[in-house]
Copies of this chain bind each other. A is one copy, B any other.
Amino acid sequence: MTRARRSRAGRRPGGASTRDDVLVAARAEFEERGYEGATVRAIAARANVDPAMIHHFFGNKENLFLVAMQINLDPAVITDAIRSSPRDEIGERAVRTFLAVWGDPKVRGPLLALLRSAMTHGAAAALLRQFVTRVLLSRIVVVFGDAPDAALRAEAMVSQLIGMAVLRFVVQVEPLASASEEEIVALIGPVIQQYVPPS
């Protein structure tokens, strides 16, 4: 089936509805095969377009995933902030960047939707799991270096940020829900700094 669809004759030129077709195909592939199993090639085949067009419109698989999930966020924003930070300010920088991302209503809604789905649906949890692992953790681990527990440390840091988001934005427990960003950065930043391995 996909082989037949992939034939050159069936491919259509780019355009608004083609872009939408790609997004529909991407959502279906990500859901069926998970973040890792989905390929740009298979998504292109399913949407009946040339893979090069997907690269042209969406860059890479990461960005396609975020657009398909309607999450208006470049993961490089977070990881660049951490990578460009002085080593002893990574904790503070991570909290500040994370709060800035969640503070953008265009990002927060879809992120909440993904987090909520992941709490209740196995397929969404698998997607989120793979995405967190491949996109966020793998980049933080590079900064954390070759400590044997670098991955666990990176994930512990991410888990503090997620727990904070759950209580502040989702369940809205006081005083965290109303605390200023500066209070939260000042309190949590130095604490999660302890997860950064000694260099």
- Residues of A in contact with B (beta carbons under 8 Å apart): 115-116, 118-120, 125, 128-129, 132-133, 137, 149, 151-153, 155-156, 158-164, 166-168, 170-176, 179, 183, 187-188, 190-192, 194-195
State the CA gap A192–B158 with chains docked (Å). 14
Residues of B within 8 A of A156 (CB): 164, 176, 187-188, 191
Residues of B within 8 A of A158 (CB): 163, 167
Additional A-B contacts beyond A116-B120, A132-B171 (4; CB < 8 A): A119-B120, A156-B164, A163-B164, A166-B166
Are B190 and A129 neighbours in the complex by a CB distance under 8 Å? no
State the CA gap A166–B156 with chains docked (Å). 11
Copies of this chain, count: 2
Are B115 and A174 neighbours in the complex by a CB distance under 8 Å? no
A159, A160, A188 interface centre (most CB from chain B within 10 Å): A159
Partner of A155, one of B115, B161, B175: B175
Subset of 10 A-B contacts with CB under 8 Å: A119-B166, A129-B171, A129-B172, A129-B173, A152-B187, A155-B175, A159-B163, A159-B168, A162-B166, A187-B195
Partner of A190, one of B119, B153, B183, B194: B194
Residues of B within 8 A of A116 (CB): 119-120
State the CA gap A163–B191 with chains docked (Å). 15
Residues of B within 8 A of A162 (CB): 163, 166-167
Residues of B within 8 A of A173 (CB): 129, 132-133, 137, 155
State the CA gap A10–B105 with chains docked (Å). 53
State the CA gap A157–B188 with chains docked (Å). 9
Partner of A171, one of B128, B160, B190: B128
